[in-house]
Structure 1
């Protein structure tokens, strides 16, 4: 149900593996790491090759390194940890969105991993203590990701700006897709996972991207409804709603008025 490894204890670590689909939670701290893979390090991160990440079940994991690395990982059965993991969006981040640690963060996390490993080595270790350590690690990672967003502010300010630009362009006259814009659509534009993109937008604007998308749709709908001869059903279709009733329900939920009442008020 729980397995903890300290990499230093395994000098024969396999240096390469094709991606495999895991069916457990994978919480890792890797230090002094050299890799062919892209874990997402930027020029704004600490010079140390030290990072943490958290993979959930049904994630592909593989590696390609030049030499063994230091650190730990904790593997936890999905039934045992899902109630902890659901509180953290970063369980859905991609590998190129790892958390790069500064010296203080690395020291703190390494200490907790060491304590968990020491408990795990006991003949009758406490599962509850190991889960508590693991949840504490997640709490720190959550805090450290906020620091990483701030450290990379110049990069992520551009992502926020691009999001606003793409949102403005989505319903221009050249767009004939007639589909509601999704967070995934804009995340793909930024080459980020939906979870990481959502957290970046919320961190710098105070609101999740879906709220920005909904506000933009309502703003366009109000402009279109100001045209007295515009067909309400066609307005809904043009904004990506599959059925006019969906548009009416959405508009009333956001404004308190049906489209027809808004037009006539």
Structure 2
């Protein structure tokens, strides 16, 4: 599998213009110059691609789609466009270095990993096009103003993340299934002995998603973060154990739930319930 370490080698392979910068590269697709098919390749940078009127070779009679596609380091990606590339659009490429140095500018979207395309409305395409038109002069300028350029990059990434949240609402069947699967795995977690507390990453791995992508879906559908949902469930299980398994003391309950340190369980429970585990048990007796 071919691995591309930089923009220049990848652009040459795909048929895009030579980049002007090693950390930020923006441009417009020119269909007649682009490679129509490719086996999966790896890139060592981030890539946001806006493709307008795209048709795949395996569905040549399908309605063309307009969408945002995302590639991140170490995720393989191939393509087969029919019969030749005819789509237009724009692309933004960001090095790992520029993101690491400016992490405060970037949203969860850049950690979404591999996920479904973001389908754009005409209005959204125009918003993105406008940002590219504003960004391009700063990119092409020999006296590059990186502060302004990075600000526009931040606006673009923020727009894409906002559009994803719009898509979460417009296709509820797909995303409700993810929520249901998350909740199902959460219930199954404590049906076996555990050695640690459940984590967002654990459930993301179970569902084949990145932690940030799963977290944004859960937050959008429940108005609580994935971690808050997990904590709510841990509290329910803690209450059940304190009520039903009276032979277990608080330390044993903590270990049953996967807490490494019993003192942390006591603090966690007090924060969530406003009672210590012992006080909660006493409240049940008083009732």
TM over 0.5: yes
Residue aligned with 1:156, SS: helix
Residues 128 and 13 of structure 1: CA distance in aligned 2, closer, same or farther (over 3 Å): farther
CA distance in 2, matches of 1:220, 1:259: 12
Q: Structure 1: give runs of 5+ residues left out of the alignment.
A: 38-46
Point out the more displaced range, 192-201 or 203-212: 192-201
Residue aligned with 2:227, SS: helix
CA distance in 2, matches of 1:225, 1:187: 29
Q: CA RMSD in A?
A: 2.8
Map Cα deviations across residues 22-78 of structure 1 (whole Å, 9 max, x no partner): 1x44332222334589xxxxxxxxx5422224555x443533233334222222344
Q: Which residue of 2 aligns with 1:262?
A: 280
Q: Which residue of 2 aligns with 1:180?
A: 197
Residue aligned with 2:26, SS: strand
CA distance in 2, matches of 1:86, 1:117: 19
Q: Which residue of 1 aligns with 2:220?
A: 203
CA distance in 1, matches of 2:90, 2:221: 32
Give the structure-2-normalised TM-score. 0.75
Q: Which residue of 2 aligns with 1:139?
A: 158
Residue 14 of structure 1: how far off its partner (Å): 6.9
Structure 1 segments of 4 or more deviating over 6 A? none
Q: Which residue of 2 aligns with 1:245?
A: 263
Map 1:1-265 to 2 at 5 A. Answer: 1-8=23-30, 11-13=33-35, 15-16=37-38, 18-22=40-44, 24-35=45-56, 48-55=64-71, 58-66=73-81, 67-68=84-85, 69-82=87-100, 83=102, 87-172=106-191, 175-227=192-244, 228-265=246-283
Given that 1:25 and 1:81 are in contact with CA atoms closer than 8 Å, whether structure 2 keeps it comes out as no
Residues 199 and 48 of structure 1: CA distance in aligned 2, closer, same or farther (over 3 Å): farther
Map Cα deviations across residues 187-235 of structure 1 (whole Å, 9 max, x no partner): 3343322211111111011001111111111122122112432232221
Map Cα deviations across residues 77-124 of structure 1 (whole Å, 9 max, x no partner): 444444356641111112333322122212321232234234433343
Given that 2:269 and 2:275 are in contact with CA atoms closer than 8 Å, whether structure 1 keeps it comes out as yes
CA distance in 2, matches of 1:212, 1:233: 23
Residue aligned with 2:90, SS: strand
Point out the more displaced range, 28-37 or 124-133: 28-37
Map Cα deviations across residues 112-154 of structure 1 (whole Å, 9 max, x no partner): 2234234433343432332222112122112211210011112
Residue aligned with 1:96, SS: coil
Residue 181 of structure 1: how far off its partner (Å): 1.7
Residues 178 and 72 of structure 1: CA distance in aligned 2, closer, same or farther (over 3 Å): same
Q: Structure 2: give runs of 5+ residues left out of the alignment.
A: 1-22
Residues 217 and 36 of structure 1: CA distance in aligned 2, closer, same or farther (over 3 Å): farther
Map Cα deviations across residues 142-168 of structure 1 (whole Å, 9 max, x no partner): 221121001111222232233333323
Residues 168 and 115 of structure 1: CA distance in aligned 2, closer, same or farther (over 3 Å): same
Residue aligned with 1:212, SS: helix
CA distance in 2, matches of 1:153, 1:143: 16
